[in-house]
Chains A and B, each alone.
Chain A
C-alpha cells in the first residue's frame, strides 16, 4: 500500500467518523435535520473516496470505467446533500438554482448509466500508470471523453452559482456569525468544487494528461461542513453554560431579595419559592414546591378556581394587588398576617407563570398604627390646649343660657307673687327655661366631646354645619377681639367622612390663627370662612383673614413644627392640623393674597360612611 492509498483510506475513515458523530447527534435531537444531511454528505464522501481509491488501483480500463460509473452515485448524493444543507441550514440560496443544480446532477447520473462507459468517458482505452511524488504509482485512464459530460459539468456550474449566491446572501445578512459561515462554507465549497470540477473537465477533455483527483476536494468540503456544524454545537454548549450561569444569577437574586418570591403555574401550583417565602409562610421549600398557592391564603379570601379568569396572566405589566388593609396571608401554623403582593406574568417556552412577590407588612402596619395613635394623642393635647384659650368664649356660651334660665325663673316667681298671680305666664316661661337648659347642655356636651380622649371615629360630617357650630363657639371670642366673621357657605355641600372633633379642631385652629394674624391692626379685622365643592368630589373649607399676610417663603414652613410667630404657643397647631387633615386623605395649605391677607385651605375628599 502506498501513501496515496493510505491518505485516501484515512480521508474515508475520517468522513465516516464525522458522519457517525452527526448521525448520533441527529438521533439524540431528532430536530437537527442539518446533522442528518451532514451524515448523508459524509457517508457519500466516504463511498466516493472508496470508489476513487478503486479507480486508482484499477489495472484494466473496464474496471476503471465501472468504478467511475458507480462513483457517480455517491457523488450525486454528495451534491444533493450540499445543496439542501446550504438551503435549509443557512436559510439562504435560491430555490430554483438549487433545483436546477440537483436536476442536472441527477440527469448526469442517469446519462452516466446510459451513455458511454460512464458520463466522463465514451470509452477507456488503456490504463496509464502515473507516478506521484514520493514514488507512489496509481493508475490513470486513457480514453475518449463522453460528450454528455457537459451535463454534470453544467450542474457543477449551477452548484457553484447556488453556493456563491447563498454565501453572498449570508454575508449581506450582517452579523459576525453569518459572515463567518458565508466565508467558511461558501469559500471552501466554491474553491473545492471549482478546482476539482475544473481539473476534471480539463482531464476529461484531454487537455491535461493525468489523473482526476476529486476526493481531497470532497474531503475539504466535509471538513468545512463538519467544522460549521461543530461550531454550532460549541455555541450551543456555551449557551447552555451561560444559561446555567444566568439561572444561577437569577436564583441568587431571587434568594437575595427581601420579599418572598413565588412562581405559580397556570394550575395555581407553586413551582419556585425562595428562602424568604420559606421563612414568611413557615413551610420548608420542599413542601412549598408543588403545593397550591391557595394554601397560603386564608379560606375566606379564596375564590373558586372557576371565578379566576386571571386577566393578569395575559397582562403585559406587573400589577399590585391588595395594597389596602385587606390582603392577608396565612402561615403554616394558621397565623394570618398582612401582606402586600405584586403579581407579574411570566411567559416562557414551557407555559405561562405568575411571579408573585410578597412583602410581610406586619411591622409597617404596627408602625402606622403607632404613628396614628401618637398623632391622635397629640391632636387631643393640642385640642385641650386650644380649649384653654377658648375658655372665655365657652364660659360666655354657657353663661347666656344660664342668664336666661335665672331671669326666667325669677320672673316666674314674681308673676306668682302678684295678686292675683299671673299663672298664664308660666307655660311659656317653662318652655323657655327648658330650651335654655338644652342650650347649656349642648355647650357642655360639645366641650366634653372635645376634651374626651377617644379613638377617632368615622362619620359623615357636614362641613357647613361644622362651620356654623364653630362660629357659635367662637362668637364671644371674635366679639371680644373685634373680629367680624363672614361665613360664605355653599349650599348642598356633600359630606366628608371623618372624626368630627378633629375636623372641628382644625377649623377652630384656623379661625383663631386668622384672628391672631389681625391682632396688630386697629381696623378692618374681618375674616371669611368659605366652603366650596371643588372638582373631583372634593370639598374645601378655607379661612381668609385681612392681616398682613404670609411671606412667600414661609407659606410651607408654616406647617413645620415649632414655627410660631406668637409669644405663647408651641407652634404645633398647624403641624397637628396638617397631620389631621392628611390622615383624612386631605390637604392643608396656605396662600397669600396681595395686598393683604392670607388664606388657609383645607381640602377633604367627599364621601359617605360605608
Chain B
C-alpha cells in the first residue's frame, strides 16, 4: 500500500453540517480538511497528494457545480462526492456527466458516505499511481539515444533482430548491443517486459517505417 495518508477535503458553507460530517469522517480514521467556501478550497488545497472532495452543492458564491467546472479546467484528478439537500435529477445528471464520483443526499448515512469516500480515495490513489508510472516511463524513454529508440520501436512491433538490423542498415550484432543497453535503461529483466513497456509508452501501436 501507499505511504500517503488518505486525505478528504470537505466543502460546505453550513458550519453545523461541516463540523458534523468532518467529525464522522475523522471517526473512520480519515484525515479531513474543511473549507467554508469553494474559493477557500481552491486557494488552499494540496494538488500533489491523492485525496477526494466531499462537496455541498448549494452554496453562496461558487456553488458545487461551478467548483467542479473549475477543477475540470485545471485537469484535477480529484474525485468529487456531491452532497445535496434536495435530490434534483437535472443537477445530479450534470454532475455525473462531468465525472462526479458519487451524488448523495442529506442527511447522509455514514455507511454510504464512507463507502463512497473509500471508493473515491482508491480511485484517486490508482489515478495517482498511474500518473507516476507514466512519468517514470517518460523519464526513461527520454534517456534513450535515437538509435536505441528506433530499436525499441522495432521490438515493440515484434520484429526479429535480423529484421531490425536490415531495416536500420546495420549488423545484427550491433542490434544485440543496443538491446542490452535498452534492457538496462528501461529496467526490464526479460525481453517481454521491454515489449510491455514499449506498448505502455505507446510505441508499438504504429508500425515502424
* B60: A residues at CB distance < 8 A: 479, 484
B85 adjacent to A476 (CB under 8 Å)? yes
* A418: B residues at CB distance < 8 A: 27
A429 adjacent to B108 (CB under 8 Å)? no
Interface size on A, residues (CB 8 A): 31
B106 adjacent to A403 (CB under 8 Å)? yes
A396 is an interface residue with CB less than 8 A from chain B? yes
Interface size on B, residues (CB 8 A): 22
**Docked complex Cα distance between A429 and B23 (Å):** 9
B107 adjacent to A436 (CB under 8 Å)? no
**Docked complex Cα distance between A270 and B24 (Å):** 86
Known: A396-B85, A414-B27. A406 touches B108 (CB 8 A): yes
Known: A392-B86, A476-B85, A479-B58. A407 touches B107 (CB 8 A): yes
A411 adjacent to B107 (CB under 8 Å)? no
* A411: B residues at CB distance < 8 A: 20, 23-24, 26-27, 110
A411 to chain B, nearest CB (A): 4
* B108: A residues at CB distance < 8 A: 403, 406-407
A408 adjacent to B20 (CB under 8 Å)? yes
For B106, give its contact among A399, A425, A436 (CB under 8 Å). A399
Which B146-192 residues have a C-beta within 8 angstroms of A?
none
B16 is an interface residue with CB less than 8 A from chain A? yes
For A432, give its contact among B19, B106, B109, B110 (CB under 8 Å). B19
**Docked complex Cα distance between A402 and B108 (Å):** 10
* B107: A residues at CB distance < 8 A: 399, 402-403, 405-407
Known: A406-B108, A479-B58. A395 touches B85 (CB 8 A): yes
B12 to chain A, nearest CB (A): 9
A435 is an interface residue with CB less than 8 A from chain B? yes
For A439, give its contact among B16, B26, B28, B85 (CB under 8 Å). B16
B123 is an interface residue with CB less than 8 A from chain A? no
Most buried by B among A401, A402, A414, A429: A414
A317 is an interface residue with CB less than 8 A from chain B? no
* A415: B residues at CB distance < 8 A: 27
* B106: A residues at CB distance < 8 A: 399-400, 402-403
For B85, give its contact among A399, A404, A436 (CB under 8 Å). A399
**Docked complex Cα distance between A484 and B106 (Å):** 24
Which B1-47 residues have a C-beta within 8 angstroms of A?
14, 16-17, 19-21, 23-24, 26-28
A406 adjacent to B109 (CB under 8 Å)? yes
* A406: B residues at CB distance < 8 A: 20, 107-109
A410 is an interface residue with CB less than 8 A from chain B? yes
B84 to chain A, nearest CB (A): 10
B16 adjacent to A404 (CB under 8 Å)? yes
**Docked complex Cα distance between A480 and B21 (Å):** 23
Which B69-109 residues have a C-beta within 8 angstroms of A?
85-86, 106-109
Known: A406-B108, A408-B23, A411-B24. A435 touches B16 (CB 8 A): yes
Known: A411-B26, A476-B85. A403 touches B63 (CB 8 A): no
B59 is an interface residue with CB less than 8 A from chain A? yes
**Docked complex Cα distance between A405 and B110 (Å):** 12
Most buried by A among B17, B26, B109, B110: B17
| Per-position 1/0 for A439-480, Cβ under 8 A of B | 100000000000000000000000000000000000010011
* A399: B residues at CB distance < 8 A: 85-86, 106-107
B17 adjacent to A479 (CB under 8 Å)? no
B58 adjacent to A404 (CB under 8 Å)? no
**Docked complex Cα distance between A400 and B68 (Å):** 22
* B86: A residues at CB distance < 8 A: 392, 395-396, 399
A400 adjacent to B19 (CB under 8 Å)? no
A407 adjacent to B23 (CB under 8 Å)? yes
| Per-position 1/0 for B50-72, Cβ under 8 A of A | 00000000111001000000000
The 7 closest A-B pairs by CB, nearest first: A414-B27, A407-B20, A410-B110, A403-B107, A411-B24, A404-B20, A403-B106
Residues of B within 8 A of A (CB): 14, 16-17, 19-21, 23-24, 26-28, 58-60, 63, 85-86, 106-110
Would you give 11 A-B contacts (Cβ < 8 Å), ordered by A?
A392-B86, A395-B85, A399-B85, A399-B106, A399-B107, A400-B85, A408-B24, A411-B20, A411-B110, A432-B16, A436-B20
